[in-house]
Amino acid sequence: MSLLVRFTSDNALAPLQLAFAGVFDRFPKLRVYWAETQVGWLPYCLSQIDDNYERNRYWAERDWGMQPLKCKPSEYLRERNRWGFMKDPLGVRLRHDVGVKALLWGSDFAHATGDWPESRRVID
The 10s digit of each residue's pLDDT in 99-119 is 999 999 888 777 777 777 777
Distances (CA, A) of 43 to 12, 59, 65, 93, 95: 12, 26, 29, 11, 8
Higher pLDDT, 96 or 117: 96
Contact 52, 4 (CB under 8 A): yes
Q: How far apart (Å, rounded) are the C-alpha atoms in residues 108 and 85?
A: 9
Domain 2-123 sits in CATH at 3.20.20.140
pLDDT at 111: 72
At 108 the pLDDT is: 74
Which pLDDT value is given to residue 2?
54
Contacts of 28 (CB under 8 A, 6+ apart): none
Nearest to 37 by CA among 9, 65, 18: 9
> What gap in Å lies between CA 112 and CA 13, rounded to an integer?
27
121 three-class SS: helix
Sign of CA dihedral 40, 121, 103, 113: positive
Residue 103 has a pLDDT of 96
Confidence tier at 8 by pLDDT (50, 70, 90): low
| pTM to 2 decimal places | 0.82
24-74, pLDDT tens digit by residue? 999 999 999 999 899 999 999 999 999 999 998 998 889 988 899 999 999
